Amino acid sequence: MKKVLSLLKYYKKEAFFAPFFKFVEAVFELFVPLVMADIIDVGIPNSDTSYIVRKGLILVLLAAAGLTVSITAQFFAAKAAVGVSGTLRKKLFDHIMGLEASDVDKAGTSTLITRMTSDVNQVQTGVNMSLRLLLRSPIIVFGAMIMAFTIDVPSALIFCIAVPILAIIVIGITRFSIPMFAGVQKLLDKVMLSSRENLTGVRVIRAFNLQDDEKNSFYEKNNALKRKQITASDFTALTNPITFIIVNVAVMFLIYKGALRVNIGAITQGQAVAILNYMSQILVELLKLTNLIVTITKSIASADRVSDVLDLGNQADEAVISSEAGKSSEFISFDHVSLKYTAGSDEALSDISFTVKPGMTVGVIGGTGSGKSSLINLIPGMYEATSGTVTVLGEDVKTCDRIKLRERIGVVPQKAVLFKGTVRTNMQIGGENATDEEMIECLKKAQAYDFVSEKGGLDAEVLQNGKNFSGGQRQRLTIARALVRKPEILILDDSTSALDFLTEKHIREEIAKLEDMTVFIVSQRASSVMTADMIIVLDDGKAVGIGTHDELLKTCEVYEEIYYSQFERK
């Protein structure tokens, strides 16, 4: 919560003037019952029309002044609230973009989306309403009490009983409602997750005719959210009727007490009406305050959730990779490396050790779920090894500057990801300063130049996720994007699975021509890795074989099984 409120320091002027003008408005409003009392006590009994008109004009001026300062206050409050939410959303987005893969996995994509949208909007509403009403309502309540005491002390004592009771009720309801609304936001995460899974996997759902199952699953989560929301809303809704009951009981006693005081001549009729008006003002403000409390309660719950995300993360260390690191004989080294994705899970990798020299081509092969992607994700530091040491470019990945490390690595992920824009803007992600000639050269190496030319060249449109390209075309574009970076280490994570054997062969031949580049090829195809300088065979997270193609055919049963499942025995 403190992290969110600290953003108000950028909007000090707005945060000061919004409650200040609301304070002025409250002061104007407190004078209205006194003017009404004068009209009732002086103007009406004496039939003094001019006096009534003068006092009436004063009421009009008070209303006009109150309206002016109220609009001004709302302007400053809205400006501060929108500014805070915009700054918070930007800060949250920048922070999420800097999170490691393990942190994103821990939070969950749907949760991060919810917190950047729904939760930030709740914070914006809370800041806006707080600046407008958090100061005004207490001023009206306590100001009305003080003004009532200036009129008649015995009658005003009723205020001293009613207001504390109301305060206790409001505080009590608020205390219990905060965790309820936090629970509502958690269930909203689940609904968001369900929606996201259904939208991204709609083709699979239709292919297996699971529409009804997914609908029922979504309705179940949505109904749970609805029930939680109703429970929280019903609980906070108790505030209004309880407030009405207490205030109306107080009004009843005020009328009774005021009538007795008027009857004995202790106060005038106008003063009795003024006291009742002050009680009415308190009623209105308490109703506003209770609604404000509900809004603030939601806002606090959302702000805490946003703060939790801001607390996530790993900041890159200050260490700098030496320019001579690339000349080390141990260019990349895994020393008894093991990996667990979560504390209680099984090991995804177990006791992996190998050394790679500069310029080598390394193949990583194994069955589905054997740990191939887990292995290569340790090289750019997407995940940290649970035990053991991963050394890349002469530095321990855990302690090096990962930003500088990743600038020297090109990664083609298992799932080809393209961004909305053009081919050029997607290529510039790999190399921001790359020239058109360099981009075209990389497209040719990735066997992508022909179809890009047909679609309009570097200015060809790319839809979100590259939906206007086939799976194989997307893979070739992501390979070209990685090559534009001119990386010292190139990682191809099963990035040719959608390509035919001939196209894949041409890409491997082009990459092999690149000098001083260390290449990791992850694949389930033996043909993709058999020409590599070193092949790592994985099975259930363990390295069951490390060597060349010919060596592994003689010594590794797993590799032999994979190879002969794809090629005939001679």
Residue 122 in any domain: the answer is: yes
Regarding whether 155 and 276 lie in a shared domain, the answer is yes
How many CB atoms sit inside 10 A of residue 393's CB? 26
Choosing from 284, 311, 338, the residue where a domain stops is 311
**pLDDT given for residue 313 in this prediction:** 67
In sequence order, what DSSP letters do the residues of 468-512 get, joined into one string? TS-HHHHHHHHHHHHHHT--SEEEEESTTTTS-HHHHHHHHHHHH
Residue 354 in any domain: the answer is: no
**pLDDT given for residue 327 in this prediction:** 41
Residue 566 in any domain: the answer is: no
Residue 366 in any domain: the answer is: no
Write the CATH number for 101.
1.20.1560.10
Residue 507 in any domain: the answer is: no
**pLDDT given for residue 329 in this prediction:** 46
Q: Is 110 helix (H, G, I), strand (E, B) or coil?
A: helix
Regarding whether 420 and 305 lie in a shared domain, the answer is no
Regarding whether 165 and 304 lie in a shared domain, the answer is yes
Residue 518 in any domain: the answer is: no
Choosing from 311, 330, 360, the residue where a domain stops is 311
Residue 125 in any domain: the answer is: yes
Q: Among 192, 170, 177, which residue's Cα sits nearest to residue 234? A: 177
Please enumerate in sequence order all residues whose Cβ is within 8 A of that of 276, keeping only pairs 6 or more positions apart, or say none.
Answer: 251, 254, 255, 258
Please enumerate in sequence order all residues whose Cβ is within 8 A of that of 465, keeping only pairs 6 or more positions apart, or say none.
Answer: 417, 418
Eight-state DSSP code of residue 235: H
- pLDDT tens string, the chain, 570 residues long: the values are 677 777 888 888 888 999 899 889 888 888 888 888 888 888 888 888 888 899 889 989 999 998 999 899 999 999 999 999 999 999 989 888 888 777 787 777 777 888 888 889 888 988 888 888 888 888 888 888 888 888 888 877 887 887 788 778 877 877 777 788 778 878 887 888 888 788 878 888 888 898 999 899 899 999 998 998 888 888 877 777 887 788 788 878 878 887 888 888 788 888 888 888 887 787 777 777 777 877 887 788 788 888 888 888 644 433 344 434 444 445 899 999 999 887 777 889 999 999 999 889 999 998 888 889 899 999 998 888 989 999 998 888 888 888 888 888 999 988 888 999 999 999 999 888 889 999 999 999 999 999 999 998 999 999 988 888 998 999 999 999 999 988 999 999 988 888 888 998 899 889 888 878 899 999 988 888 998 999 999 999 999 999 999 999 999 999 999 998 888 776
**pLDDT given for residue 570 in this prediction:** 60
Amino acid at 154: P
Q: Which domain holds residue 435?
A: 416-486
Q: How many domains does the chain have?
A: 2
State the Cα torsion 469-471-476-479 to the nearest 10°.
Answer: 110
Amino acid at 566: Q
Strands 421-422 and 361-366: unpaired
What is the rounded distance in angstroms from the CA atom of residue 373 to the CA atom of residue 543? 13
Regarding whether 48 and 169 lie in a shared domain, the answer is yes
The label of the residue with tokens 């090096």 reads 400
Choosing from 273, 296, 311, the residue where a domain stops is 311
Q: How big, in percent rounded to 5, are the helix, strand and coil portions of the chain?
A: 65, 10, 20
Q: At what angle do helices 269-311 and 153-200 cross, to 10 degrees?
A: 30
State the Cα torsion 8-11-12-13 to the nearest 10°.
Answer: -150
Residue 168 in any domain: the answer is: yes
What is the rounded distance in angstroms from the CA atom of residue 538 to the CA atom of residue 368? 10
Regarding whether 420 and 307 lie in a shared domain, the answer is no
Write the CATH number for 439.
3.40.50.300
State the Cα torsion 340-346-349-351 to the nearest 10°.
Answer: 100
Regarding whether 443 and 296 lie in a shared domain, the answer is no
Q: How far is CA 377 from the centre of its chain?
A: 24
